[in-house]
Structures are given as C-alpha cells and as structure tokens.
Structure 1
C-alpha cells in the first residue's frame, strides 16, 4: 500500500500534465502543427481538419486507458505485482501518449507529399563563422564549490549510515552528470537564425545563459539534498521515511524550477521572432521522426530545441544521440528483467536447513551458510526489534539483507516477517535474525542447533 501511495502522489499527476501538453499539439505553434510546417491557408483544408479531429479522438481514448490502469495495483497485496504494474504503466504512458502525435505527424507529412509541397522547400544549411561560432557561458569554477561539497558530504555520510551514504554518492554522481550535460549544451555551435552574425551570437548567448543558470541551480539543489541526507544519517529513527519525503520534495522542486526556464526561453524566442530571416535544418520537418526525434547528420548541433513541446532534445544522428538511443534501449530491456526478478524474490519461499554442519539459508540461491560451531547465544523470539533496511530486500513476506536496529547497531536478516517465531543468534561477530518458511520449520531448526 505504501508503494501505491508514493506512486499515486508522484507519478499519477504527471499523466495529466503530459496529456495536456500533448493534447495542445493539435493547435498552431509558430506556423506548424504536430511538428509539421504549415502555411496559414493549409489549416483550412478538410484533410488537415480531419487529421486534427482523429488526433483528439485517439488522445481521449489513450488518456482514459492510462488513467484507469494504475488502479489495478490496488487489487493485489503483492509488492512485486504492484511495482510491475507501475513500471509497465510508466513506460507505456510515454509511448501511448506519443502515438497519436506520431500518427498525426505521419499523416500530415504524407498529405504534404501528395500535394507536392516538399518539392520547393529549401534544404540549405547555414553556419555561423564569426568568432568561429564559439560562445561559452560555463566555467568550471562556478560549479566547483557545489560539486566539491556534494562529494565531501557523501564521503562523510557513508561510514555513518551505509544506505544514506550510498544515496549521497549517487547524488554526487548526478551532480557531475548535470555538469556534463551543461558543458555539452554550452559547447553547441551557434544557432543561425539571421544573416546578421551579431543577432546569432546574442541569441545563442541568451539561451546558453538561461541553461547555465538552470544546471547550476540543479547542482546546488542536489548538494543541499546531500547535506540534508548527511544530517539525518545521525538520526536513529524513521530515516527511510525522511529520505523518501526529501527525495520527493527534491523531484518536485526540479520540476518547479523548469517553469521559469521555459518562460525565459519563451521570452527570448519572442524577442527574436522578428529577426529570423534564415532557416536551418531543425526547421525542415522531414528531419523530425514523428515530430519528436530529430535526425539530421548534416547538422553539427548535438542539442536542438524541440519542435513539439518545450525544452531541448538530442540530434539522434550525433554521437551523443546514438549513445542516448542505446542507453534508452538498454533501459527498456532491463524493465522486464527487473520485474521478473522482483516477482521471483517475493514468490519464492525461503528455506532453512542444516547440511554438513552448516546452517544454510536459501532463497533463489544460498544467501547464508554459517558453520554451526560459530553460532552463539541462539534464542527463539516472538517479536522483532524496531529496525530499518540498509540494503537488501524489504517486503511484507520477505526481509533479507542488512538492517539497522535502532540504538543497537546492524544485523543480518533472513526471514518472513509474517511468521510469529524467529531465530536470534550471533555468529562471526554479527547479529542474525532468521526464520524458516513457517514457524514449524523455524522450531525444527532451533531444536537441531541446540542438540548439536
């Protein structure tokens, strides 16, 4: 249930935001519709209106389907099934909400081909030569302080609370990824919109400054999150809940700071709207696959402004674009593997047995194999201490891995928390809490250990 609450609070509202953004593509935007360039008189054609009407109908049906699917996760108590539903829904939503746009883009391009409107369209490409096209707004010293603080904070948190420390290390790595993306965007050639070089340079500088400030803000927010996690690593109680809330707030704030960025970019476009007297490769809708993916091997830009929606996208013909496609394909391939693994974790029963003088704890594989002569202070307990997971698995019917017992330290767990009897013992300087698949198996193992 906790997982459902998180996803309904964080992911479900995004569906409606994305739906509205995509639905708005049926209207005119800078002389285009569905990412296809149009002349004013073409909008009145019956075929164009029919394409718009079909797009709206498809969006309604896909939106309704996606709005209903998440509620199926409330029908099952199993964590793995809930997670699978949400992951499939999340990636399915990305695809389904794009399909009506892709279909409409394809139909409109086909209509233009049949009308012969592409035959006279220019395919010239312009390159800014003044100052060799070099406009740089990012300097490393501006980003050094937040990146350094983030690394130091992560290093300090790791020995205090391993789970928090690992989260901080991941956060520090994200900071460097933000910086890398900022540098890549900053090193893009000047976008040519005019025959006047000064206009091109000022236009590019204005946009690059906006993105520089955005990425700098992201890195500082990332560093503040790391420092906050470092602070709570010294707290013994409810660390996981505080971490979860902090990360949700962090993600929400990242989305919020995007709003002023897009507003400022819109103001720049508006200010230079009357100064466009040239077009580049991004203006040719034949270089846009479905109006969403930009593929132009003749364009030196790695990042370009989106033709549909807001923000920037990658030129898929560039090295970075090809790497992005490969990474995206790998992510999509790992989803079914991850879901299958989590389902196997939850539905495979745990098993305790004594074999060849060892206590073997098996679940999918052998997780623990402890010699009986190392087991000390064994006892049967009927209540587990208050604890929190550091790493491993934590489900309603399975807790496995390293856990932190409040005010006592770490312990190793291998048990079904729904049972009523558990083994507690120490071995090799570590505390262990274990159980069999049921109380009967736990009692049997307990008696065998005592008899040795």
Structure 2
C-alpha cells in the first residue's frame, strides 16, 4: 500500500469521525445533550434545534468534500515524503480547526435558543457528593497493580528483541511499555475522579460509580494488555520482519487501531446505558444543568470539581478538566510531545529527501556510502560477488526508511538475508554487492550514473580475482 494512500485514509478517518461525533445526541439524566447543550427531551426535538443539527450536518458534509479535494495534491508530492508529511499535518490542523469552528458556531446558536426559551435540565451550579462513597471510591476500580502484567510482557519482549538485534521489534516493545505506563497513569486519574451523586439513594450512587469506574479501568487494563501481547507476538514470531512492507502489516496495524477504538465506543455506550437504567429506578434523582462548565460544549472547565478526567458530554470516552492542575499538566506534556515528535520526523524526512546518497571509492580500496542517517563503508577486499539487476527480492524493513520513492537503511530480503539498501525503488538497474555478512544494494536515480559506478566497481574488483 502506498504511503500517500495510507496517509489519506487516516486523514479521512479522522475527519469523518470527528464530524460525526459533533452531531451525536447523548441521553443524560432528565434530557439530551445536543450540540454540546443540555436540553429537556421535548425541547431537543423542537424545530429550532433540529434546524441547527441539519445545518451543521450539511456544512460538515461540505467540509468533508473540501477535505477530500485538498488531499489530492499529496499524490503530486509523493516523490518527496517530507513534503507529504508536512502537507498532511497542515491539512489536519486546518480541517480540524474548521470543523471545530463549525460546531462552536452551532453550539452558541443552540445556547441562545435555550436561554431564549428558558429551558433547563435542573439545578444550576450544583456539585453534589454522596459522603458514603468517599471511602469506597478506590475499591470501585481495578487495582493498578494489574498493570504490572502488560509491563512485564513488554519488558520481556524488549529483552528478546535486543538479544536478537530486532530494531523494529524493540521499538514496538518499547512503545507497548510506554503505552502501559500512560494507561496506568490514566487509571490512577480515574481513581481520583469525584464520586458523583445521582440521587438521594446511596445504593444507586454506589452502583453507578462502581460500574463506571470499573468499566473504564478494565478497558484501560485491557488496552495495555492488547498492546503488550501484540508487541510480544510480533517480536517472537518475526511478524515485524516478515510483513512490515506488505499489506498484511497495514492490516495488522489497522486492527491495532480499530479494536481499541471500537472497545472504547462500546464501553462508553454500555456505561451510559447502565447509568440511564439505574437513574430511572431512583426515587429522588438529582438533575443538574452544567452547560456553563463546558466551553463550546467540548472543553470541560470546572474549578469546583477536583477530578482530572470526566466523561465527555458528546461522543464517547473521557476528557480532561482543564481547571485542574493535573489536566493542564497532562495536556501540556502531550502537546509538547506531539510538537517535538512532528518536528523530529520532519527534520529526518527533509534530510532523507534532499541529501541524496552517494557512493565513492578512495585510493585505498575503501568504498564509502554517504547517507544522511545510514552511512556505511567497506573494503573492496570484502566483496564476494558484484552484479547488476533490474529487480530486487521482496523483503522487510528492519531499521530504515521506506517511502514510495526510495528505501534506505537496514532491511531483510528474501534469498539474500541482511541487506543495506540505498535505492530508488522505481529506477533500475541496481548494483548488488555481496559481502560476507550482508548485501549492499545501491543505485542512482539516473540510470547512466548507476552504470558508470558499476563499471568503476567492476574494474577495481577484477584485478583481485573477484
């Protein structure tokens, strides 16, 4: 699968999902959340609110259509991965911002309608706590100690990958260990979520709080186990080498993304369903109208709530309380990490795109391959065989870069085994140099330059009898 096609599919998935979430209706105690505003059930079906939803849906479809059209220029940039990568991120920021602004405008209009009609879900600025639950809240979640299981699996996979020199396997295992630690921290944050009172009945409150906390903590533990087991499976079976450049690998990665997403959506749906069922059985339910704590219906900011994370108002999952110190710290660290990651990959991609590999031979018979990140040198005395070919065997990346145009770094090729590639994949011929422990494959984009280099290598290796 082309990297450009993969990037486009990911971009469309993100855009479509976010726009669909913006239009979701979420049932809550005593009403419905529409466009980030809490309405009584009858009011949510009013003509004014439905017109707002229809207008947002129409504008969202237009935005998606415009997004599709503005992704097409990526095909023209496919020869330069650095430009594809930067263009993709610019596109993502622009269209996510545009989608957010569309929703924010609809949210403000919905808020104005609600105020004009005098609609309300219940009491305002009410934060109730059932004191009988305070001492029980840590018992309502899965013990954080269980996260030691996925962490140990990830660490074992790291050791195995390092011992077998599996660079990509080590990366997968390290990523799994990092994800386990992140989910562990999120699980701890769940334990600090304020115990909420839904009614005057402590039994109802205990049941709801326990169900929500345990459901989410089980989900986070399950995701950590899934990631660790996948990394261990890839390392111990060699999947990370056997399928990295094939469609199979993209399918596996797609499953890795889809399963957690589907699990989170199902978990959230079940938690809300259980909440509504239990609330219906409460004799004295507490209904509160907390629109004022949701900035544009999406960002939770409540200084009176010590919880770092709370359930989202629309869509599914949890969101941060930006009024809490932990929420601001988590958001800041995440934003800094994303910026540094994007900057690092962009710099790496620019170097690889614009600093072309070159091969030279000095007077001492040393061959040097100049490459931005994967330079290498060897002696002509090590050459066991020298050949020119128009095709290369299939293989996988171990530690390197592979785009639609070129492949550089450490690879594992069928028939040849370990190999260092410095090739333009669609510009044969390729110079194949077999060494005792690996194979070096090199070419220039210009065919004549490749043939001249091959002639020079052939001339200098023939006197040695090779």
- Provide TM-score, normalisation by structure 1: 0.81
Matches of 1:190 and 1:45, distance apart in 2 = 34
- Give SS of 1:419's match: coil
2:193 aligned to 188, 197, 200, which one? 188
Q: Does residue 434 of the first structure (1) align with residue 442 of the second (2)?
A: yes
Deviation at 1:299, TM superposition (A): 0.9
Residue 421 of structure 2 is aligned with which of 390, 413, 420? 413
Shift of 1:403: 1.2
Unaligned ranges ≥5, structure 2: 462-466
CA contact (8 A) 2:245 2:395 kept: no
Q: In 2, Cα distance between the equivalents of 1:5 and 1:223?
A: 28
Contact 2:422–2:441 (8 Å) recurs in 1: yes
Cα distance change of structure 1 residues 138 and 152 upon mapping to structure 2, 3 Å threshold: same
Q: Does 1:351 align with 2:358?
A: yes
> Relative contact order (alpha carbons < 8 A, sep ≥ 6): 1 or 2 greater?
2
CA contact (8 A) 1:233 1:239 kept: no
What residue number does 1:228 align with?
Answer: 233
Distance (Å, rounded) in 1 between the aligned partners of 2:450 and 2:385: 12
Distance 2:119 2:340 in 1: 40
**Deviation (angstroms), 1:269:** 1.9
Contact 1:359 1:371 in 2 (8 A): yes
Please state how far the C-alpha of 1:367 moved relative to its aligned partner.
4.6
Tell me the CA shift for residue 382 of structure 1.
2.5
Q: Describe the shift of the 1:396–1:12 C-alpha distance in structure 2 as closer, same or farther (beyond 3 A).
A: closer
Deviation at 1:313, TM superposition (A): 0.9
Counterparts of 2:263 and 2:50 in 1: how far apart (Å)? Answer: 36
Measure how far apart 1:90 and its partner are.
4.3
In structure 2, distance between residues paired with 1:403 and 1:165: 15
Task: Give the 3-state SS of the residue equivalent to 1:389 in structure 2.
Answer: strand
Partner of 1:291: 297
* Cα distance change of structure 1 residues 143 and 43 upon mapping to structure 2, 3 Å threshold: closer
Cα displacement (A) at 1:10 = 5.8
Kindly indicate whether residue 70 of structure 2 is the aligned counterpart of residue 63 of structure 1. no
Cα distance between partner residues in 2 of 1:143 and 1:86: 35
Q: Which residue of 2 aligns with 1:23?
A: 23
Aligned counterparts of 1:116 and 1:346: Cα–Cα separation in 2: 60
Counterpart of 1:153?
Answer: 157
Contact kept, 8 Å, 1:106 with 1:290, in 2: the verdict is: yes
Which range moved further: 283-292 or 74-83?
Answer: 74-83
Tell me the distance in 1 between the aligned counterparts of 2:240 and 2:327: 43
CA apart distance, 1:387: 3.2
Q: Is the 8 A contact 2:194 2:305 kept in 1?
A: no
2:332 equivalent among 309, 326, 330: 326
Distance in 2 (CA, whole Å) between partners of 1:219 and 1:26 is: 28
**Contact 1:133 1:189 (C-alpha < 8 Å) held by counterparts:** no
Match of 1:130 in 2: 132
| Offset, 1:23 | 2.6
Q: Which residue is equivalent to 1:404?
A: 412
Q: 1:122 to 1:187 in 2, by over 3 A?
A: closer
> Taking structure 1 as reference, are residues 20 and 439 closer, same or farther at Cα in structure 2, changes over 3 Å only?
closer
SS of structure 2 residue aligned to 1:203: helix
1:40 deviation in Å? 6.7
After superposition, give the CA deviation of every residue in 1:13-56 in whole Å (9 maximum; x if it has no partner): 56444433323359999244322234578669887676555434
Shift in CA distance, 234/82, structure 1 to aligned 2, threshold 3 Å = closer
The aligned counterpart of 1:2 is 2
Tell me the distance in 2 between the aligned counterparts of 1:371 and 1:32. Answer: 67
Contact 2:192 2:308 in 1 (8 A): no
**Conserved 8 A contact 1:4-1:82:** yes
How far off its partner does 1:146 sit?
4.0
C-alpha distance in 2, partners of 1:128/1:59?
Answer: 42
The one of 241, 252, 261 equivalent to 2:258 is 252
The number of equivalent residue pairs is 447
Instruction: Say if 1:351 and 1:157 are closer, same or farther in 2 by CA, change over 3 A.
Output: closer
1:167 equivalent in structure 2:
172
Between 1:204-213 and 1:434-443, the stretch displaced more is 434-443
1:291, distance to aligned residue in structure 2 (A): 0.6
- Does residue 266 of structure 1 match 2:258? no
Contact persistence 1:415–1:433 (CA under 8 A): yes
SS in structure 2 of the partner of residue 422 of structure 1: strand
Matches within 5 A, 1:299-378: 299-330=305-336, 331=338, 334-335=341-342, 338-339=345-346, 341-342=348-349, 345-354=352-361, 359-363=367-371, 365=372, 367-368=374-375, 370=377, 376-377=383-384
Offset from partner CA, 1:286-345 (integer Å, 9 cap, x none): 221111011122211111111122222111122332134324533257547645653553
Aligned-residue Cα RMSD (Å) equals 4.0
TM-score (norm. length: structure 2): 0.79
Contact 1:210 1:261 in 2 (8 A): yes
Of the three residues 390, 403, 423, the one matched with 2:398 is 390
